[in-house]
Structure 1
Amino acid sequence: MAQDAPSPPDPTHESLWRPLRLLQASMDADIGRLYAEARTGGTAGLKASWVMELLRLHAAGPMTITELAESVGRTHSALSQKVAAMRAAGWVRTVPGDDARSKKVALTDRARSVVGRLAAEWRATEAALAELEAEIPYPLSRVVADIEQALARRSFHDRIAEKLAEDPSWD
């Protein structure tokens, strides 16, 4: 009986950015825990990842998905999925837009009742992040700015394409 060739090593065991993603997921989970622990205030079932959009809608009023996506720096597709989830959870609704063909995303009464709490959490989170950055020798906001500058010199796409050009498995 012939033996199968050994499997190639799994490259996903190595990841420079996995720790960053896990850190962010952990911090988001902590924010979610604060919402879950709130005994009053109507934040049950709220996802921390929805707060920016809810606050933006509160500040700017109803927006199309395209307007909201541009406002928060996301793609239309990503925002469309997020809005569908927020609508299903009762945080937003759609209302007629400026013409008969368009719709806008608006806060529900439920969302409007908690925006003050959401803004308080946002401010507290930003203050806690500033405190964390003051404790470390090289703040993450500086890392991000430095990476953005390096990518302005040569894009991530071009960097990856160069590495792929050197890898015979890509051909």
Structure 2
Amino acid sequence: MAQPPDPTEQNRWRPLRQLLDAMDADIARLYTERGITGVRPRFVAPLIRLGRRGGMTIRQLADSLEVTHSAMSQTVAALRRDGLVSTAAGADARTREVTLTERARELLPFLEAEWRATEQVVAELDAEIPYALTRVVQDLQAALQRRSFHDRIADRIGDA
């Protein structure tokens, strides 16, 4: 009996992931061109947030950026390795307060300028295409509020 085709050969999300990866790579290339090392696009939001609000615990930073504590903990570890933040014991033994290093503070004006420019370019791209990506996201969110992604997948899997 023939084996069914590899299900991973069909991937409707791959083009979107590749697009986002390419856009992030272009931003990273801009950093390299400007002589900024050790900064990845995913670092910029936490760095700007810390620069604007001051020291925060990992939980506070995660909540303010609407990401998981685990994801932010991994990001903070990478930021520490790259000399962009320091951590110290928080108000209790279970928390760590994250603060920017001097190096990160020096980079903030450029990072904020890049963030603003990126948002302007995304708005231009949204206006340039017939159906804006921001509208697609809103429409998908609305559809998933009506019926969750989990429930839709679970129904397709059945008892498999």
Structure-2-length-normalised TM-score = 0.95
Query: For residue 116 of structure 1, what is the aligned residue in structure 2?
Result: 109
SS in 2 for 1:15: coil
Q: Secondary structure at the residue paired with 1:16?
A: coil
**Mean CA deviation greater in 92-101 or 79-88:** 92-101
| SS state at 2:56 partner | coil
Which segment is superposed worse, 6-15 or 116-125? 6-15
- Determine if the alignment matches structure 1 residue 95 to structure 2 residue 88: yes
1:158 aligns with 2:151: yes
Q: CA RMSD in A?
A: 1.3
Q: Which amino acid aligns with 2:84?
A: W
Matching residue's letter, 1:34: L
Distance 1:56 1:158 in 2: 35
Superimposed CA distance per residue, residues 36-95 of structure 1 (whole angstroms, 9 cap, x where no aligned partner):
0014xxx21210110001001111111111111111111111111111111101111102
Matches within 5 A, 1:20-39: 20-39=16-35
Query: What fraction of aligned residue pairs are identical, expressed as a percent?
Result: 54
Which residue is 1:19 aligned to? Answer: 15
Secondary structure of 1:113's counterpart equals helix
CA distance in 1, matches of 2:67, 2:95: 20
The alpha-carbon deviation at position 102 of structure 1 amounts to 2.9
What are structure 2's unaligned runs of at least 5 residues?
none
For 1:80, give the aligned amino acid.
Answer: S
Q: C-alpha separation between the residues in 1 aligned to 2:131 and 2:25?
A: 24
How big is the shift at 1:96? 3.3
Structure 1 residues without counterparts, runs of 5 or longer: none
Please give the alpha-carbon distance, in whole angstroms, between the structure 2 residues aligned to 1:52 and 1:65: 13
- AA aligned to 2:10 is E
Partner Cα separation in structure 2 for residue 49 and residue 101 of structure 1: 25
Aligned to 2:121: 128
2:72 corresponds, among 63, 73, 79, to: 79
Computing the radius of gyration from Cα coordinates, the structure with the larger value is: 1
Distance of 1:99 and 1:83 partners within structure 2? 18
TM-score of the superposed pair, with normalisation by structure 1: 0.89
2:59 is the counterpart of 1:63: no
For 2:13 and 2:3, the matched residues in 1 are separated by: 25
* Higher mean displacement: 93-102 or 144-153: 93-102
SS of residue matched to 1:25: helix
